């Protein structure tokens, strides 16, 4: 219960967009139930979303990236069952960065992961990252992926206006 309260306080003091705040608190709780720690980076600060990004699209991006991070580390040793989320409003850009400490993405699927129907995980429909890519593109943003055997970092960069 104390951990839930700490996560809640951490989110509420840094994330002033109620939809994203609620999403982050919920996903942190679900992750904890699955044995994964999702932490909010101390640099996270959100007052409002960019004009080009609606709440539904923001939820699509953040929820899918966090869910993928949780799935990537769920079967890792305890020390690697963690992910970090950093969302920052800059003067010119709004960035969302999700890092996991999983096994990384296989090189043969890395170039295709944003394609609908492609997944690096067996039995997955391959829709989540395609939806993320579409939401980012509709907001005139870009998404980058850096994957190594020590984990994967997804970074979404959106124009502020």
Q: How does pLDDT run across 116-133, given as a tens digit for each residue?
A: 877 666 677 778 999 999
Q: For the chain, how many structural domains are there in total?
A: 1
Taking residues 10-32, report their average pLDDT: 94
Looking at residue 6, its pLDDT comes to: 63
- The tens digit of pLDDT for each residue in 38-97 reads 999 999 999 999 999 999 999 999 999 999 999 999 999 999 999 999 999 999 999 999
Which is higher by pLDDT, 118 or 23? 23
User: What CATH number does residue 22 fall under?
Assistant: 3.30.565.10
Looking at residue 73, its pLDDT comes to: 96
Residue 2 scores a pLDDT above 60: no
Q: How many CA atoms lie less than 13 Å away from 69 in the CB half-sphere? A: 32
How far, in Å, CA of 72 to CA of 109, rounded? 15
Looking at residue 63, its pLDDT comes to: 98
- Domain range enclosing 48: 2-159
Looking at residue 127, its pLDDT comes to: 87
How far, in Å, CA of 63 to CA of 86, rounded? 13
């Amino acid at each position: 219960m104390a951990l839930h309260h700490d996560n809640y306080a951490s989110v509420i003091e840094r994330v002033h967009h109620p939809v994203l705040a609620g999403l982050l608190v919920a996903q942190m709780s679900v992750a904890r139930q699955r044995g994964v720690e999702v932490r909010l980076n101390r640099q996270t600060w959100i007052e409002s979303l960019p004009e080009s990004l609606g709440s539904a699209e923001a939820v699509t991006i953040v929820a899918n990236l966090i869910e993928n991070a949780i799935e990537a580390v769920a079967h890792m040793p305890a020390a690697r069952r963690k992910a970090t989320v950093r969302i920052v409003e800059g003067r010119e850009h709004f960035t969302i960065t999700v890092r996991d400490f999983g096994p990384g993405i296989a090189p043969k699927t890395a170039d295709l992961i944003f394609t609908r129907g492609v997944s690096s995980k067996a039995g997955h429909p391959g829709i989540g990252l395609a939806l993320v890519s579409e939401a980012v593109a509709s907001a005139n943003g870009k998404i980058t992926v850096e994957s190594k055997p020590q984990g994967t970092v997804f970074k979404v960069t959106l124009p502020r206006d």
